[in-house]
Amino acid sequence: MAKITPLYKTPETAEDMKSYKEKLFRHRAGIGVKGFVCAAVVAGLIFGMWSWSQYKTYTTYELLSSNERTDTLNTQYAEYNGKILKYSRDGISCVNLKNEALWSQTYNMQMPILDICQNSVVVADMQGNEAYVFNEDGLCTQITTLLPIQQVSVSSQGVTAMLLSDNSASWICLYDDEGEKLTEARCRLAETGQPLAIGISSDGIKLAVSYLQIQGGTSASCIVFYNFGTVGGNFVDKIVASKVYEERIIPRIEYMGDSICVAMSDKGIIYYEGKEIPEEIAEAKEETEIRSVFVGTENVGVVVEGTGKESAKYEVHLYDTSGNLVLNQETNLAYGQVKMSGSSLIIFNESECEIYSRQGVLRYTGNFDGTIADIYKGSGMRKYIFVFSDRTDEVKLK
């Protein structure tokens, strides 16, 4: 018979068993501590590498894909739910990152203007009489007006507000997603003034209108809020709130969702909030000349002149939906456009760009050989879409 060698000595007494258990516990505890230390070291290395990458400035990139463009010279671009809208006088199309058309529509417009709210898109002929409303699947409806179109604003459901006017009167009209007129209101210039801008909420219930008024030789702006829901039925002409701002011009007003509305004036940004009846909640005032403004999904941006001889040529002020300043970014870039794309602040012209994080970290700076038309944040870390005059490139910063 073969001799069996025991792997360990079986404890014979209670004292031996106690000693054995203590040794076994220390052994297992040692393994656990070593495992924890190793895991902590690996996690620390990963976090360190991630932090380093988040604060690193890149000056070059890897080309992931490139697709030739055959657009006309007057083509304009807009970001749309991870895709790109291309629109011109001849038509509009929605393409993916490979420049493959998902849907398209031809038309004949002299001056196309565009508005986007979540999945809904409206393109209209400014000073013309045609408008087209789309969703992610393509065309929903075509709207024909009797008076020339001045401005359009669309809700997430496809409800479209239009500002129409001719030499004698101005009208504000609402259309449903099938092109049927829901309501209209005539703007009496002697009472309200000249309408300058409109903005509809994403739920299609509230409408904000900025009117220009001339009183005693001085200009003023009046913001009027309409409610087309059940609450608005309790008010005359469905006007639930209004406010006059002396010596101020407000040429742009937009809703950021269902309840937050921002009015962009020549002196700063005015914030309103209210699910049914909006009220002013904050104002972000600017002390220097405002050169341009832009609106993202979570932020409003203002570009102003630099404040002193030692400062940069421009400052980009980024505000949240409550009017709090979250970023003051200086730049000397002679920009053509400033925008938010995802969490990236992008400043660029035809040949160079700067890309910042929302915290103000310079992520990329560089020049281009071709003529850049637009830049978008891509899907994935450090990925961006560069739209040139002759191609669309998907790149990864490195």
How far apart are the C-alpha atoms of 8 and 48, rounded to whole Å?
45
Whether the pTM exceeds 0.85: the reply is no
Look at residue 277 and give its three-state secondary structure. Answer: coil
Q: What is the DSSP string of 326-392?
A: EEEEEE----SEEEEETTEEEEE-SSEEEEEETT--EEEEEE-SS-EEEEEE-SSTTEEEEEESSEE
- CA–CA distance, 139 with 104 (Å, rounded to integer): 8
If we measure between CA atoms, which residue out of 206, 209, 202, 204 comes closest to residue 224? 209
DSSP state letter for 236:
G
Q: Are 93 and 86 in contact (CB under 8 A)?
A: yes
CA 287, CA 307: separation in Å to the nearest integer? 9
The tokens describing 218, both together, are 């001085």
pLDDT per residue rounded down to tens, the chain (398 residues): 555 555 555 556 666 666 766 666 676 666 666 665 555 555 454 444 444 455 688 989 999 999 887 777 789 999 999 899 999 999 999 998 778 899 999 999 999 999 999 999 999 999 999 999 999 999 999 999 999 999 999 999 999 999 999 877 899 999 999 999 999 988 877 777 899 999 999 999 999 999 999 877 888 999 999 999 999 999 998 999 999 999 999 999 999 999 999 999 999 999 999 999 999 999 999 998 899 999 988 999 999 998 766 778 999 999 999 999 999 999 999 999 999 999 999 999 999 999 999 999 999 999 988 899 999 998 888 999 999 988 889 999 98
Q: Under 8 Å CB-to-CB from 275, ≥6 apart: which residues?
A: 258, 259
147 secondary structure, DSSP code: S
The residues pairing with 271 across neighbouring beta strands, listed in sequence order, are 262, 282
Could you tell me the two tokens for 70?
A: 């055959």
Q: How far is CA 68 from the centre of its chain?
A: 27
DSSP codes, 163-211: EEE-SS-EEEEEE-TTS-EEEEEEE-TTTT-EEEEEEE-TTSSEEEEEE
